[in-house]
Amino acid sequence: MNRVVRLKTDDDIKRIKESGLIIFRLFKKINTMNLDGLSTWELDTFIDDFILKNKARPAFKTVRGYSFASCISVNQVASHGVPTKKKRILSGDIVKIDTGTVMNGYFADACSTFKIGNVTLEADRLVDAAYLALQTGIGEVEPEKFTGDVGFAVENCVRNLGYSVVKNFTGHGVGFALHEAPVVPNYGEKGKGTIIRPGMVLTVEPIVNQGSDELIIQEDGWTSITSDGKLSAQFEHTIAVTKNGPVILTSE
């Protein structure tokens, strides 16, 4: 990742929003679908087709060594779940779908956790906590604040709800590439890190675990599971920094 933070113009932000709206519409469509019984490979194929039909390309396929349109992480898989024909989604699962789009050279990135059928009360509460952590972090994306302010707010929100936040993976800049500077951790100290300025486009993406925040990377080199086998949930948005505060680019 290039360490230089590249600011975006109003026109750049408009174009990133056009790319991000495809993910918003994709997630809205998936929310109406019955995923019970689908393999994660079949779901990824649907995602790939949806993005292409909307005149964009799957941004994750620009990542070296990765050949899928999304990462699909089920239950104790915290992140970077590789789609496979062997893994079927079942009622009661929580499914994290992380995907990105690139259209006319502009990138957007988002993740949502979907509750499949009747999930347990514990799973339901975890998903809600991860979404609240996302909203809390977005609230700190304001000019003259710091990336450490975002991380501090996210981690404290998660801890106060009785969960842990993953430190291995972070948010990041996005727009001209899928991953840009700066790093946006989900933990930190107020007043530390990179100062947030208008024109930045960032992702906030907390991964929230029921138990330990430690992950184990599987043999495929991508899939990360919780070290204690407990559930994990994640949400992510692409956000533009404006003089008036944060604007979500992966939502209407």
Structure tokens at 167: 């430190």
Contacts of 98 (CB under 8 A, 6+ apart): 70, 71, 72, 73, 79, 80, 109, 110, 111, 234, 236
The pLDDT of residue 73 is 98
Please compute, for residue 215, the number of CA atoms within 13 A of its CA located in the half-sphere on the CB side: 24
State how far the Cα of 242 lies from the Cα of 246, in Å rounded to an integer: 6
Structure tokens at 222: 């991508």
pLDDT, tens digit only, all 252 positions of the chain? 668 999 999 999 999 999 999 999 999 999 999 999 999 999 999 999 999 999 999 999 999 999 999 999 999 999 999 999 999 999 999 999 999 999 999 999 999 999 999 999 999 999 999 999 999 999 999 999 999 999 999 999 999 999 999 999 999 999 999 999 999 999 999 999 999 999 999 999 999 999 999 999 999 999 999 999 999 999 999 999 999 999 999 999
Burial of 155-190, coded b for 16+ CB within 10 Å and e otherwise, reads bebbeeeebbbbbebbbbbbbbbbbbbbbbbbbbee
Please tell us whether the domain made up of 10-248 is placed in CATH 3.30.830.10: no
